[in-house]
């Protein structure tokens, strides 16, 4: 992977340098802040009715990952 790169985290690209989103996973402080903000957002709007695009993207993500 060091030579050809990891490709995309989610998608069809199989080689190349990681995009900004993947590189951000190494930033622990950013992850903690994002988690805090996500929890606040869900506490205020559990159905995400004020954020339809976010709701749609989360649904897409769940379909792609379907953790067991």
Domain span at 24: 1-68
Q: Is the Cα dihedral 36, 7, 18, 28 positive or negative?
A: positive
Average pLDDT rounded to a whole number, residues 42-67? 92
> What pLDDT was estimated at residue 65?
83
Q: Tens digits of per-residue pLDDT, 18-54?
A: 566 666 677 888 889 999 999 999 999 999 999 999 9
Q: Which residues of 19-48 are buried (b: 16+ CB within 10 A; e: fewer)?
A: eeeeeeeeeeeeeeeeeeeeeeeeeeeeeb
**Residue 1 pLDDT class (50, 70, 90 cuts):** very low
Q: Which residue has the higher pLDDT, 4 or 54?
A: 54
Count the domains in the chain.
Answer: 1
pTM exceeds 0.75, yes or no: no
Q: Which residue has the tokens 């030579």?
A: 3
């Amino acid at each position: 992977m060091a030579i050809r790169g990891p490709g995309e985290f989610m998608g069809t690209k199989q080689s190349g340098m990681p995009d900004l989103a993947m590189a951000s996973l190494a930033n622990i402080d950013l992850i903690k802040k994002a988690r805090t903000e996500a929890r606040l957002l869900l506490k205020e709007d559990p159905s995400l009715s004020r954020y339809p695009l976010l709701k749609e993207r989360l649904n897409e993500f769940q379909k792609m990952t379907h953790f067991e």
